[in-house]
Amino acid sequence: MKNLNNGIIINNIKTSMEMENQFLNDRDVRVLNDFANNKITMEDAISNFKADAISAFKKMEF
């Protein structure tokens, strides 16, 4: 039941983000699943997302 609830929550997050023209990739979903299943801490999840954001920003050309 927990995995079903996690899937519903993650799907709700994806839907909400898509409404703001933001999209989760497969890695994002894996991080959210790992956090929801207590495989990583909130700090680890935030660090993952932060590292991805910094990496994407550095690839941008101005």
pLDDT given at position 1: 66
Distance CA 8, CA 32 (A): 12
pLDDT given at position 3: 78
pLDDT given at position 35: 94
pLDDT given at position 24: 93
pTM above 0.75, yes or no: yes
pLDDT given at position 49: 94
Q: Write the pLDDT tens digit of every residue in 9-53.
A: 999 999 999 999 999 999 999 999 999 999 999 999 999 999 999
Q: What is the residue whose two structure tokens read 């590292």?
A: 51
Q: What is the residue whose two structure tokens read 């023209």?
A: 21
